[in-house]
A = this chain, B = another copy of it.
Amino acid sequence: MLFDGKLVREECLKELSKKFKKIKCGLAVIQVGDDFASNRYISQKEKLANELGVAFQLIKLEKTTTKELCKIIDELNENKEIQGIIVQLPIPKDLDYEVIRNRIAPNKDIDGVNDVNILRVFNNDKDALVPCTALGIMKILDYYKIPLEGMDVTIIGRSIHIGKALFSLLLHRNCTVTICHSKTKDIKKHTKNADMVISSVGKANFITQDMVSDDVILVDVGFNFLDGKICGDVSKEVEKYKYLTPVPGGVGQMTVYSIYENLLKAYKLNK
């Protein structure tokens, strides 16, 4: 069975729009430069903002310095009409992203990139603004009522916002969690008997049928291109599984949605 990311997104959106109808919320996105993919992501965010009745503000800068960008963030932190702030990645290499991400007020950090939110996720703090991809995955698993407690989960990839965030989230849901990465000796050893495998490697055809059990739950966080087509980490030849998040149509469907779930939480935290 396929997890239907679009379906989960639509169902979650219904609930969310009811809640947004009752409040007045503002979101600011800061973009530096004119990256093609960024433009597309930002317009997706704006579209959903319009649907939900969220005031959307794009601050597009041709170029800037870390200091100037921090000043803009400071103003947005103080602005009572703004509940969420996003610095759209990528940003030019001469800007200090460490400084920038930690300048965003933790309770307006709806991308979950500030150290305070990373710590909240690690400490299982209910106020955590969870990084959007990880949050989207949890929403899909919960929509399909996957009984996480006691489940053996293998995560491939240890990025702070995906692998390590999911490690914390799933550990606190009482999964037994293993993290594999580029230095793992034998990934198959850790995936073959896992109840769930989450792959965020970024390589087409990385997960093959022999690596997983026939009733595995496969969460594919990969976003790759092969022969001009979008695909995930899971090979198309993998046909035996309990559940699979397809690419496209799976996890990716939830990312923009998750921003607004975080925005609603941020609204409550800032009240």
Contacts and interface: CB of A to CB of B under 8 A. Distances in A.
A213 interface: no
A164 to B, nearest CB: 7
A193 B183 CA distance: 17
Contacts of A176: 178-181, 183-185, 190
Contact of A119 (B118, B180, B184, B193): B118
B189 A123 contact: no
Determine the main DSSP class of A at the interface with B.
mixed
A167 to B, nearest CB: 8
A90 interface: no
Interface string A176-216: 11111101110001100100000000000000000000000
A4 interface: no
A158 to B, nearest CB: 6
Given A171-B179, A179-B171, A184 B122 contact: no
A151 B189 CA distance: 12
Given A176-B178, A177-B178, A179-B176, A185 B150 contact: yes
A171 to B, nearest CB: 6
Interface in A94-130: 115, 118-119, 122-123
Contact of A149 (B174, B177, B183): B183
Contacts of A179: 171, 176-177
A71 to B, nearest CB: 25
Contacts of A174: 181, 183
Contacts of A123: 115, 118, 160
Interface of A: 115, 118-119, 122-123, 149-152, 158, 160, 164, 167, 171, 174, 176-181, 183-185, 189-190, 193
